[in-house]
Structure 1
Amino acid sequence: MEHQKQRLWPGSIGEAMVRWRSFVHQPNRRLWDYDSGGCTEWACCGDPWQAREYLETVMLAMSRRRARELRSLVEALDRCY
């Protein structure tokens, strides 16, 4: 899929998963303020909410079977959050 879609690049889905996973597992995640730009760590490493939205967009574009596999991983992280 990363090779077929114009706005994707090799590794982009994996990068979004890593960003969302690291945010979910960060102890101070609920203190991160989206409107103020968050802490400097997220400012340099990327926006976790943007990564989560990206994953949702990708899942909607995937085949049902593949989306189901990715959705199970993403929803497990969502439950942790």
Structure 2
Amino acid sequence: MIDGLSAGTLAELARLERTRTYLWPGAASGAVRAWAEHVRLPRGRTWPHPGHGPCYCCPDPWESRELLDQIARALSRRGARELRRVLAGHDQLWDPVPRPYRGEGPW
């Protein structure tokens, strides 16, 4: 379950997780959870945590965020819009200065 998504989008996510080879059941919710937990850490604590070496016990939040972008591209327009709206709330915690998406703006 991902708070903020409609039942239709959740069903679409479940279908994608069953049919795409790069996904598995619960991949989207796990990635949202990993990213949400990471952005709420104090700014000095980054992943992997210093002094602990590679951490195989928890997902890489940056890989999770990239996976969520891939999932959003595979969803319908409506589903992608809903997922991006949920992610925008978490992204705001990481980088409070809004930045345009690629292709927007003068640069």
TM-score range, shorter chain: 0.7 to 0.9
1:80 alignment partner, one of 73, 93, 99: 93
**More helix as a share of residues:** 1
Regions of 4+ moved over 3 Å = none
With structure 2 as the length reference, what TM-score do the two structures score?
0.64
Unaligned 5+ residue runs, structure 2? 1-15, 95-107
Per the alignment, in what secondary structure is the counterpart of residue 7 of structure 1? Answer: coil
Q: Distance in 2 between matches of 1:5 and 1:22?
A: 25
Aligned residues: 76
Unaligned 5+ residue runs, structure 1? none
1:18 paired with 2:25, answer: no
Aligned to 2:46: 32
The alpha carbon displacement at 1:31 in A equals 3.8
Q: Distance in 1 between matches of 2:81 and 2:28?
A: 15
Q: Distance in 2 between matches of 1:16 and 1:31?
A: 19
With structure 1 as the length reference, what TM-score do the two structures score?
0.83
